[in-house]
Amino acid sequence: MKIGIPKEIKNNESRVGMTPAGVAELIRHGHHVVVQHTAGENSGFSDEKYAKVGAEILPDIESVYNEAEMIIKVKEPIEKEYKLIKKGQLVFTYFHFACDRKLTDAMIESGAVCLAYETVETDNHRLPLLIPMSEVAGRMATLNGAYYLQKTKGGKGKLISGVPGVDRTKVLILGGGTVGEAAARMACGLGADVWITDISLPRLRQLEMELPVNAHTLYSTEHNIKMMLPDIDIVVGSVLVPGDKAPHLITKDMLKMMQPGTVLVDVAIDQGGCFETSRPTTHSDPVYIVDDIVHYAVANIPGAVPNTSTMALTNATLRYALALADKGWQKACKDDPALYRGLNIVDGKVTYQAVADVFGLPYEPLAL
């Protein structure tokens, strides 16, 4: 199979779909890999490194899309790429369709096979291709929250760890999944007092046992969240409903309950955000203020650390990319229910129910 790795063109997205090590494995399996010129440069992987393992370097994004049967990316295609995607072409990437009707319509019209990293789900409800970026995003959420807590950045002017004789920062994390746990571990390590919420009691019990002693668990209800807000310094929103929009756990009215300079970090912004006042931002313009509350809602947080992120992502995606390339997408998805669940749009049909439901589109499950 001919596999293409284009350069990401979303604002300040420096990751690349696969490392040279991953490309080497694809080539070892007999596949031909084309990589766009400078695709890996911002992640620390030069054209020479790809060429050394046997990849063909192509001069532009049009050439990559034109030649490849399968595209491996990081972020969803943006408008400039819509016209490049061909009927029957397999596109393997993060799509997050539920919060982007324009993208959904474009992919339906393209006739492509859209296999979304974020909905590849194992039988035990694990999301193996979302986990590595969630681990990065959770850690970064705490670091960014601490950074924007500085007075010069619009925050309260607090140091996350405190110092002897001065109280430490209080961090509230909404959602106890992979992002939430990673954010909590980072916040605990920096010395903050941390509260992490979830609606699963078994998960809260697990977190209670595994997190450091400065982390506290709290059952997630509107009442409990409201009780915490007046004293909280940083709120990390990390709620995920696979393939669907995130619920709004903090409304605009609730902002008045917080002290000016409180920082909200919405990691769920890829799925619409879990704060009512959230809107997607970029690394070049990451924050805005509503009612004296700082909002950080960058939609590709791991893109700020592309070397770490690209290696972590390739570690997770490679086995699935090999299966798709070796067997073809139909047999690979038939053999592996996790991959089958990743199919969101195929040949103009919406094959993932949550995406169909959010836009009121026909849901047409795929029979393989």
Report helix angle 20-28 to 306-327, nearest 10: 10
Residue 218, helix vs strand vs coil: strand
Rounded Cα gap, residues 95 and 103, in angstroms: 8
Which residue in 96, 233, 248, 295 is the catalytic one? 96
Q: Active site residue: 193, 266, 270, 336, which one?
A: 270
Q: Which of 219, 186, 211, 149 is nearest to 305 (CA)?
A: 186
Sheet containing 70-72: order of strands: 56-58, 32-36, 2-5, 70-72, 90-93, 113-116, 343-346, 349-350
Cα(355)–Cα(347) distance, rounded to whole angstroms? Answer: 15
Helices (H) and strands (E) in the chain, counts: 13, 15
State the burial class of residue 38 (Cβ atoms within 10 Å of its Cβ: 0-12, 13-18, 19+). Answer: middle
Strands of 215-219's sheet, edge to edge?
215-219, 193-198, 170-174, 234-237, 263-266, 293-296, 287-290
Tokens linked to 169: 């920062």
Helix, coil or strand: residue 69: coil
What is the Cα–Cα distance from 207 to 196, expressed in whole angstroms? 9
* Structure-token pair, residue 137: 């995003």
Q: Which residues of 331-359 are buried (b: 16+ CB within 10 A; e: fewer)?
A: ebbeebebbbbbbbbbeebbbbebbbebe
270 is catalytic: yes
- Please, are residues 46 and 40 in contact by the beta-carbon 8 Å criterion? yes
* Active site positions, annotated: 96, 270
